[in-house]
Structure 1
Amino acid sequence: MNLLEQFILFLVSLVANTFSAFSGGGAGLIQFPVLIFLGLTFGVALATHKVASVALGIGAVLRYFRTSRLERQFVWLMLLAGVPGVVLGGSVILLVPDRWAEIALGLLTGGLGIYSMLKAQLGQSYDPINRSRRGFYIGGLVLFFLGFLNGSLTSGTGLFVTIWLVLWFGMDYQRAVAYTLTMVGLFWNGSGAITLGILGDIRWDWLPALLLGSLIGGYLGAHLALKHGNRWIKRAFEVVTLLISVKLIWG
């Protein structure tokens, strides 16, 4: 790629990952379609996007490192339940058509945004619930399913993790986004990148610009999330979910 194309990739990645890190997911809404528009096939674009998304997690971790309140039990839950789902989803997606799955995911994503809009106090305070063994089992099962979606689809799955942590475990948006960015952005996307890299192809010459944009965007978005708090994150979450819904349904 020439320098102009690399610069365009960097800007796309920066914008996509800044919004993603602030709202709790959705980088694929902008970044993935652009990769296809620039000439990559679906499988190659997906694998390249997953590798670049790992830098989003790294950037977020760098910002959250000093202020993180992540609990060890949730870190292990998201690793043990989510990563196997990501690997399974990444193994399956290259074998099956995904149009109907994208439409269904788009409808569900839009529903999440509308639900959040109707619940004014959703995710505005930290009210721990479902911390029993049964609660963790159910929570882990859903996280496995969300990991499968993360490995097999491109847009919006981080948002599902964010809203699940809010709804099931009673987290506020700021805390839930911190888990999504660090665990999904770094470990889930890393597992998906490795899986798709082994089974498919990656455009390595496109990655420098994408990685730099993801790294800076992840740090910047995490900084904005910490600075502006739950209400702004909630609004950003609702906007991004509705945009992703439209994108997935209408392609």
Structure 2
Amino acid sequence: MLDASSQALLFGLALLANTLSALAGGGAGLLQLPVLLFLGLAFPTALATHKIASVALGVGATLRHLSSGRIDWRFAGFILLTGLPGVWLGTQIILQLPDALARAALGVLTLGLGVYSWRRPSLGVQANHQHRDRAGMLMGGIGLFAIGLLNGSLTSGTGLFVTLWLVRWFGLDYTRAVTYTLILVGLFWNGAGAIALAQQAPVMWHWLPALLLGSLLGGYFGAHWALKSGSRVVKRAFELLTVAVGAKLLWDALV
């Protein structure tokens, strides 16, 4: 059992990580997963525990975003149907992959996201819906399936991939893209991944109350901040967090 100070640490870091994640559209694992590993959990146990806690991020963000009227439920269903099979497949292979190699590859990709967005100042500032014909939706669905595969197999920062894909391919502004990411990835993709991982690895259940509360509150506060700030602020938060997540993953892989 963790003492009160350790529980407070878990809550504080979960609150911080998920507030930033809800603002930027992903990246809660940057702080949350490493803390679980530092406190002595084996990687499979830390991953399964973090994945369950991350569902509360989706719950908190959903509570705030549902009142915004920004959700096209038909498009939301498309994201679910194309991404969830990839999530399930990813959970079947994650525990078989070398951790250092997986972290290094994801670190390079995540850094690339931040640089790509930063080099395009107008990207995602205003909505410009595109690729909504049959061919465009097919390619978009393939992209979401591939990101779902990453989401199920790797836990840090994959929501950021969804956010940028919705901005770049479908032409959403950052604020609306983050809305879809937090509800569909945070709640449904992570929920599916949590169920699958919990069947393969032990979960530290008595650590979850602090993590769940921090994730729930962080998801709500971050979503509120994103809606109030607008796409330019969300874009900057996205770029900063992708660089931080990518650098952290590379450091973990190389040290």
Question: What range is the shorter-chain TM-score in?
Answer: over 0.9
Measure the CA separation in 1 of the matches of 2:249 and 2:97. Answer: 17
Q: For residue 84 of structure 1, what is the amino acid of its counterpart? A: P
- Any unmatched runs of 5+ in structure 2? none
- SS of residue in 2 equivalent to 1:231: helix
- SS of residue in 2 equivalent to 1:59: helix
Alignment correspondent of 1:86: 87
- SS of residue in 2 equivalent to 1:170: coil
Following superposition, the deviation at residue 71 of structure 1 comes to: 1.1
Q: Are 1:76 and 2:77 matched, yes or no?
A: yes
Q: Are 1:23 and 2:24 matched, yes or no?
A: yes
Measure the CA separation in 2 of the matches of 1:100 and 1:68. Answer: 41
Q: Are 1:2 and 2:32 matched, yes or no?
A: no
Measure the CA separation in 1 of the matches of 2:114 and 2:76. Answer: 25
Q: For residue 66 of structure 1, what is the amino acid of its counterpart? A: S
Correspondences of 1:43-58 after superposition (within 5 Å): 43-58=44-59
Measure the CA separation in 1 of the matches of 2:52 and 2:102. Answer: 22
- Percent of residue pairs bearing the same amino acid type: 58
Correspondences of 1:1-251 after superposition (within 5 Å): 1-251=2-252
Aligned length: 251
Following superposition, the deviation at residue 98 of structure 1 comes to: 3.0
Following superposition, the deviation at residue 27 of structure 1 comes to: 0.1
Q: For residue 109 of structure 1, what is the amino acid of its counterpart? A: T
Measure the CA separation in 2 of the matches of 1:61 and 1:6. Answer: 25
Following superposition, the deviation at residue 183 of structure 1 comes to: 0.1
Measure the CA separation in 1 of the matches of 2:109 and 2:237. Answer: 17
Following superposition, the deviation at residue 114 of structure 1 comes to: 0.9
Query: How does the TM-score come out when normalised to structure 1?
Result: 0.98
Q: For residue 226 of structure 1, what is the amino acid of its counterpart? A: L
Measure the CA separation in 1 of the matches of 2:178 and 2:38. Answer: 29
Following superposition, the deviation at residue 73 of structure 1 comes to: 2.5
Measure the CA separation in 1 of the matches of 2:105 and 2:18. Answer: 24
Q: For residue 42 of structure 1, what is the amino acid of its counterpart? A: F
Following superposition, the deviation at residue 227 of structure 1 comes to: 0.6
Measure the CA separation in 2 of the matches of 1:101 and 1:214. Answer: 25
**How far does the alpha carbon of each residue in 1:161-187 deviate from its partner, in whole angstroms, 9 at most, with x for none?**
000000000000000000000000000
Measure the CA separation in 1 of the matches of 2:74 and 2:88. Answer: 22
Following superposition, the deviation at residue 90 of structure 1 comes to: 0.9
Query: How does the TM-score come out when normalised to structure 2?
Result: 0.97
Measure the CA separation in 1 of the matches of 2:104 and 2:75. Answer: 30
Measure the CA separation in 2 of the matches of 1:98 and 1:13. Answer: 23
Following superposition, the deviation at residue 23 of structure 1 comes to: 0.4
Following superposition, the deviation at residue 195 of structure 1 comes to: 0.2
Following superposition, the deviation at residue 236 of structure 1 comes to: 0.4
Measure the CA separation in 2 of the matches of 1:180 and 1:199. Answer: 26
Following superposition, the deviation at residue 101 of structure 1 comes to: 2.5
- SS of residue in 2 equivalent to 1:202: coil
Contact 1:68 1:178 in 2 (8 A): no
Measure the CA separation in 1 of the matches of 2:73 and 2:227. Answer: 20
- Any unmatched runs of 5+ in structure 1? none
Measure the CA separation in 1 of the matches of 2:208 and 2:134. Answer: 42
Q: Spell out structure 1 runs of 4+ moving beyond 4 A.
A: none
- SS of residue in 2 equivalent to 1:30: helix
Q: For residue 162 of structure 1, what is the amino acid of its counterpart? A: T
Q: Provide the alpha-carbon RMSD of the alignment.
A: 0.8
